[in-house]
């Protein structure tokens, strides 16, 4: 995987957004806008110039009445929540890392753990400003430049540089959540229970262990009487704890999973949980080494039509048994038109790439779509660019995954 081992880009490759804005027509490409580079792999590499959008991190406006927020592309999810939470607005779709940028979210169009209720991130984008390599800046929305807007949502940065995004936030009674945990004993029961819960709760997903047992987690935003503070107080540990990949070794994770499964009990256990523990548990603690941790794992994320979910999961579990591999995490997120699956493996080079190649081949037989995380070109299937990009791709923008364009 090519997740950054630190967050600095190599100098020779970096280009500031200021320089791109002023000199785009005179510079050599190919170009690619990047944010937190959490996607990893060939998606956030190119042989030319990466435009680092993290310094473009101002919130341009926020309307506390309507929850419409206008952000520069480098604003992080953490900053959006920090600004809006006191007015009881929250991200309608969030990724599992608070460091993801609004530009990166717009370009990758992730689904969160409320996929059934809220769909993907792009559905909540009202408009955006896009700079093309010609120097032209266009405002795009469902009304203005609508086709370019549609191609840019989930367009992997290939239509140009996203400068700013106007987003509709979600009104919540409280940012904190009322969480339910329910255990299951077979994968079939887990998929059915997670889907049933996703239809009635804001958030619902399931994790499964090697034996196919697991826990469904369902949640709704808690009512306004919650006495927890809006923003976390930094917890005071005397030392920061360096996160070590071995904390997450499959055997340790299996034991932790077994304990969690037994602790869940047979019923529906409900509890109010602070939002930062629910959405971004590692961010609230004084851990260090998160980037190194990311680099120690490979994620295989895919979505399939719901009718194929049970067969896809069973075929993947059989392939994993044959390969003698146990994922650190197997997660299922039900949706209305597509269900999401995430498998996380310890990175061990070619063996993991080969295994992910096998799972990707299984996904194709179930009409699966590979989601853009940790994609490595070595040993993996070719990735056709989305058809919607054909007419709107900026010819001077490219990522290694689609190494076309100017060199």
Ligand X SMILES: Cc1cc2nc3c(=O)[nH]c(=O)nc-3n(C[C@H](O)[C@H](O)[C@H](O)COP(=O)(O)OP(=O)(O)OC[C@H]3O[C@@H](n4cnc5c(N)ncnc54)[C@H](O)[C@@H]3O)c2cc1C
Distance CA 407, CA 405 (A): 7
Strand partners, 397: 31
Q: Would you say 67 or 74 has its CB closer to ligand X? A: 74
Q: Are strands 297-304 and 269-273 parallel, antiparallel or unpaired?
A: unpaired
Closest distance between ligand X and the C-beta of residue 223, in Å? 25
How many helices (H) does the chain have, and how many strands (E)? Answer: 11, 20
Q: Beta 59-62 vs 68-72: how paired, if at all? A: antiparallel
Tokens for 24, please give them.
Answer: 């785009």
Using DSSP, state whether 275 is helix, strand or coil: helix
Q: In angstroms, what is the minimal distance from the CB of 17 to ligand X?
A: 8
CB of 403 to ligand X, least distance (A): 13
Sign of CA dihedral 171, 177, 180, 185: positive
Residue 248 CB, shortest distance to ligand X, in Å, is 12
The residue whose two tokens read 């700013």 is 164
For residues 209 and 301, what is the distance between their CA atoms, to the nearest angstrom?
A: 17
> Residue 158 or 226: which CB sits closer to ligand X?
158
Q: Judged by CB, which is closer to ligand X: 162, or 191? A: 162
Nearer to ligand X, 177 or 226 (CB): 177
How far is Cα 378 from Cα 338, in angstroms, rounded to an integer? 27
The CB-of-196 to ligand X minimum distance in angstroms stands at: 21
**Smallest separation (angstroms) from ligand X to the CB of 340:** 7
E-strand ranges in 12-103 read 14-16, 31-34, 49-52, 59-62, 68-72, 89-90
Tracing tokens 């190494």 back to the chain, one arrives at 403
Smaller CB separation from ligand X, 226 or 343? 343
- Which is nearer to ligand X, 79 or 172 (by Cβ)? 79
Nearest by Cα to 278 from 199, 343, 215, 220: 220
Shortest distance, position 113 Cβ to ligand X, whole Å:
7
**CB nearer ligand X, residue 175 or residue 371:** 371
- Which residues sit at the interface with ligand X, rule CB under 6 A? 32-39, 43-44, 53, 73, 95-97, 100-101, 103-105, 107-108, 110-112, 156-157, 161-162, 294, 371, 373, 399
| C-beta nearest to ligand X: residue | 104
């Amino acid at each position: 995987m090519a997740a950054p081992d630190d967050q600095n880009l190599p100098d020779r490759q970096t280009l500031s957004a200021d320089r791109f804005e002023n000199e785009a027509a005179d510079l050599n490409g190919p170009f690619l806008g990047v944010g937190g580079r959490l996607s990893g792999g060939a998606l956030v590499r190119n042989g030319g110039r990466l435009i680092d959008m993290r310094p473009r991190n101002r919130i341009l406006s926020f309307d506390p009445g309507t929850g419409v927020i206008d952000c520069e592309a480098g604003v992080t999810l953490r900053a959006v929540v920090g600004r809006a939470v006191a007015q009881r607005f929250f991200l309608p779709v969030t990724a599992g890392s608070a460091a993801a940028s609004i530009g990166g979210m717009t370009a990758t169009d992730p689904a969160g753990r409320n996929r059934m209720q809220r769909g993907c991130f792009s559905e909540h984008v009202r408009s955006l400003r896009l700079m093309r390599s010609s120097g032209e800046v266009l405002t795009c929305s469902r009304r203005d430049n609508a086709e370019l807007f549609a191609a840019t949502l989930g367009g992997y940065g290939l239509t140009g540089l996203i400068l700013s995004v106007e987003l509709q936030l979600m009104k919540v009674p409280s940012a904190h959540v009322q969480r339910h945990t329910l255990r299951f004993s077979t994968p079939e029961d887990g998929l059915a229970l997670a889907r049933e819960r996703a239809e009635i709760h804001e958030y619902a997903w399931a994790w499964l262990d090697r034996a196919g047992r697991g826990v469904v987690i369902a949640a709704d935003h808690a009512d306004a009487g919650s006495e927890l503070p809006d923003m976390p107080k930094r917890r005071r540990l005397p030392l920061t704890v360096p996160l070590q990949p071995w904390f997450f070794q499959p055997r340790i994770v299996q034991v932790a999973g077994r304990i969690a499964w037994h602790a869940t009990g047979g019923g529906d256990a409900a509890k109010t949980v602070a939002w930062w523990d629910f959405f971004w548990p590692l961010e609230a603690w004084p851990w260090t080494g998160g980037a190194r941790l990311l680099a120690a794992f490979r994620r295989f994320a895919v979505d399939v039509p719901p009718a194929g979910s049970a067969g896809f999961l069973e075929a993947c579990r059989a392939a994993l048994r044959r390969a003698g591999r146990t994922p650190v995490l197997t997660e299922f997120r039900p949706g209305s038109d597509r269900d999401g699956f995430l498998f996380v493996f310890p990175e061990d080079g070619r063996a993991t790439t080969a295994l992910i190649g096998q799972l990707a081949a299984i996904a194709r037989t179930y009409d699966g779509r590979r989601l853009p995380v940790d994609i490595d070109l070595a040993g993996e299937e070719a990735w056709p660019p989305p058809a919607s990009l054909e007419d709107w791709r900026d010819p001077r923008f490219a990522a290694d995954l689609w190494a076309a364009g100017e060199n």
